Amino acid sequence: MCITCRLRVIELIFVLEYFRTIKLKDSFVHKGMRNRLVETLREKGIKNELVLGAIGKVPRHLFMDSSFLEHAYTDKAFPIAADQTISQPYTVARQTELLDIKEGDIVLEIGTGSGYQAAVLLELGVQLYSIERQNELFKKAQRFLPKLGYRPKKLIFGDGYKGYEENAPYDGIIVTAGAPFIPKPLLRQLKIGGRLVIPVGDKVQTMTVIERKSAREFIKNEYGDFRFVPMLENKN
């Protein structure tokens, strides 16, 4: 290789490394924006300070396409790859609050998506298993979450309707897509005393919390309407 070509290759490597570093940058400006987001969520009714603290730590802008950076800390959902979305911060906070988990709990997430909800759960110190149906998002989460220091116990490429029997029962199960019904495998995989948080419905979903009281007894409560992308099945 000629000297000029080598210099161009070296220059390209430095440029790529520069942009990689910029992309993963979390500045004081971003932290200030997160603090304002936390205050917005508190004003909207999120009361769990541990959840608010986790929202305040996770760099949401790094989970979004660069063209949306200026909107990363507004309380809105935005599109990501595979026709999916990164959920509205209020929705993430509300589902996490309803899950009512503590450090060390074993949690199953249905719908890894961008990985943002997973990061919030991991900030709370849970042992997280997360299932993603879209291969593009699954592979991206596998690469990206560890770069930010977030390490789930396992990421699974599969059908969320089936859950993940291998590590059941779970202290909590959270579904981040709109389900037309409550999948029975998720109920079976829930620990007694555990909670399933799932938005149920078609065009509009009702946030539903199922608490398992015994082997056969479940209590259901509903917490208002939300809008999610549909929960898909038939993978694996």
130 is catalytic: no
196/142 Cα distance (integer angstroms) = 24
Q: Coil, strand or helix: which one is 235?
A: coil
> DSSP of 76-118, one letter per residue?
--EE-GGG-EEPPHHHHHHHHHHH---TT-EEEEE--TTSHHH
Q: Which residue is catalytic, options 27, 67, 87, 214?
A: 87
Residue 18 burial by CB count (10 A; 0-12/13-18/19+): exposed, middle or buried? Answer: exposed
User: How far apart are the C-alpha atoms of 51 and 97, rounded to whole Å?
Assistant: 6
- Going along 106-217, which residue ranges are E strands? 106-110, 127-132, 154-157, 170-175, 190-201, 205-212
* Residue that is written with structure tokens 């109920």 in the block: 187
Only one residue has tokens 């000029």, namely 4
Catalytic residues: 87
